[in-house]
Amino acid sequence: MKTFLNSMCVVALISLFCLSHAYGQPSAHDKDAKLNKVKSEMIKLIKAGRDMEQYRTSMDDPEKAKLCEEKMNQYNPIEQEIIKDLEALSLGHDMKMSIFDVINCTSCLPEALESCHEAEKILLNAK
């Protein structure tokens, strides 16, 4: 009887393990919804990055430089969340790497606007 109970416990644990992994995997619909959310957030960041150009072109003005840095810091937590989301999704290399163009886009670097264009190109071609 004790062996039978031990066997039943093992079967129950294996079943729970299998069920938790089966239900722990997002469905294709969930992945699509998550990907659309990520793309939407990235598009918002690209727009914000383009709007930052007014500060980047005046970096010799301490006030505008400070505003640019504040904006950059404001977008950093959003970008970090997107990185986590992209890592969780099974996507192509280009899509995963596009976040780095978005990060550059929302930076105070002189080439930031070019990164905005690159990120947008990748997002428009992403499937």
- The reply to whether 23 falls in a domain is no
- The reply to whether 80 falls in a domain is yes
- The reply to whether 49 falls in a domain is yes
pLDDT in tens for each of the 127 residues of the chain?
A: 444 333 443 333 344 344 434 445 557 778 888 888 999 999 999 999 999 999 999 989 999 999 999 999 999 999 999 999 988 887 777 788 899 999 999 999 999 999 999 999 988 887 6
- The reply to whether 3 falls in a domain is no
- The reply to whether 6 falls in a domain is no
Q: How many domains does the chain contain in total?
A: 1
- The reply to whether 87 falls in a domain is yes
CA distance 80 to 92: 19
pTM of the model: 0.75
Q: What CATH number is associated with residue 70? A: 1.20.58
